[in-house]
Structure 1
Amino acid sequence: MTFSSWLQRQWWHPTPASWPLVPLGLFYCGIASVRRWCYQIGIFRVRRVAVPVIIVGNITVGGSGKTPLVAWLAQHLSAQGLRPGIISRGYGGRVSKGPIQVKPGHSPREVGDEPVLLARRSHCPVAVGKDRHAAARFLISTQQCNVIIADDGLQHYSLHRDIEIEMLDGDRRHGNGRCLPAGPLREPRRRAKLVDIHVCNGPPRENEIGMNLRATEAIQLSSDIQRRPLNSFQGQTVHAIAGIGNPRHFFDMLEQQGIRIIEHPFDDHFAYRAVDINFGDDHPVLMTEKDAVKCEKWAGPHHWYVPVEAEPDPALIELLRHRLQDDINGQKAT
């Protein structure tokens, strides 16, 4: 087991061996709190844009279902007649400053895996750049977007936000409750109490909105046309690839379909090579859609990806409608 794997296990299933890291976690918490306070009192500048900004993020590292929720949110707002745009840092890509708009020809190595996936799934303009404010202004001026969704932007306080959505993993939640490196928290746990909306990927608790991830089919990676029901793999042995924040979610989802899996977990944003997805046998290979955008050029007919759809509780739709209407009316008044 690598040190990184051991450390992450301590975050979610702590033992006394992680206690020496607690002072470092307290120091990190202090720095994060002071940084946020500096934005609150005006030492650091908070910049606004002319349209409502929705932040989707979390106070923990690792996956929780943000990307499917962002895609759903963009599709929902488009269906309501709005023109949403998505901004992202483009983690894992080569964009040093930007902003640039994600185009069909862009690869994950250039702009990051999540922006490529979001552009394909949402059919909305996606901009990548280190400066989130500049990326938002870019989409407003070039694409006439009238609402901005910031993917994983909860800690980017330089951009004013109208609605904050915390995405929670229903199994892991806030882990051991400690800040990095002693735990998974980017900020003290009390920060979560200040968020407007809490969405839980799993059974929700009080004051949380539940969300499920639904997967019903697999799509052949080499053609992107041939599809088959996911349950058609029932009883088969497959290689399961997951380079996401919590690979366990993907593996459990396949096993719930009665699929026998050989697990291949990778780090989030992993840069795949051909050898990583070919195993020298005839077993089908199933992977997440996020991994698929990085593996297309090595895919054979036995490689399939499994798209997931976010299904939040209808209460989220109603809550967003009221909050956005209030924000739009407030901006018109000013």
Structure 2
Amino acid sequence: MAFNTNDTVVTEFILLGFGRGQEIQLVLFVMFLMIYTITVLGNITLVFTIRADSRLQTPMYFFLMNLSLLDFCYSSTIAPKAMMSFLAGSKTISFRGCATQFFFFALFVSTEAFILAAMAYDRYSAICNPLLYSVAISKPICIQLVMGAYICGSVNSIVQTGFTFTLSFCGSNKIDHFFCDVPPLLKLACNDTHINEMVLFALSSLIIVTTALIILISYTYIISAVLQIRSAVGRHKTFSTCTSHIMVVSIFYGTVSFMYVQPSWLTSPDLILYTVFTPLINPLIYSLRNKEVKEALGRALNKCMVFPQIRINSL
């Protein structure tokens, strides 16, 4: 990176977060700890349940397992550092640490958008082309879709990280946020950030619009197919397989669109709590609204209760 000779090179940033009072910091630590613990338990439980239950070895649950892994990963990218700053009072993060945090955050969030689009395509194939479902969504195709999602997410993350962290940062190093994100970082740059803002807007819009269009087109065909079912029970049963996905999509795209496809002056740390709450909500939605997942969790719990009894009886 090139800096002007009169500029002070920024080697670390200070995450201002939500305030400086000791009481509020303790409250935030407890809140983040509870949310993060539930998030980790929920997503990891969902991953192991899908992996362990033979009845859930289908494309839909393969994508759901990857969605849970992404939720766990990008929550872990943000929450631990935030909790450390709340508890220890040290709000500094190194320049490289900031770049690394943003890289993985951008990677996991953008990859999740493509996974949600793949899940919509899976539902479209299952409902609109059931006879060709095993061909359209075969195991190799599922793996290719997931790999493609990670590749697209990596490209987006590399470009955004490269454009952001090759800027010259001088003067203030205080980030008005609780983690490293592009909008508050651009406010600290010495350079003209017009190109960076355009790149951020273009990439975010491209990912959101492209994946949202895939989801919208898929559900247009799904709704058309469901309406052709004569039985009301049949229509409800068929469409119920999509309700959890629709809820997750609505929450994800609503929050991400509001944060990144908007003027930068509207950005506020209080509005970016989706980084904490979205990974928490997703496993709850799929666990509480999905009959097969609830049954699989029940079977897993029964095994956990039976095995200790067997060990005790053997003694």
Name the TM tier (shorter chain). Answer: under 0.3
Structure-1-length-normalised TM-score: 0.23
Structure-2-length-normalised TM-score: 0.24
Identify which of structures 1 and 2 has the higher relative contact order when contacts are C-alpha pairs closer than 8 Å and 6+ apart: 2
Question: Which of structures 1 and 2 has the bigger CA Rg?
Answer: 2
User: If each structure's strand is expressed as a fraction of its own residues, which one has the higher value?
Assistant: 1
User: If each structure's helix is expressed as a fraction of its own residues, which one has the higher value?
Assistant: 2
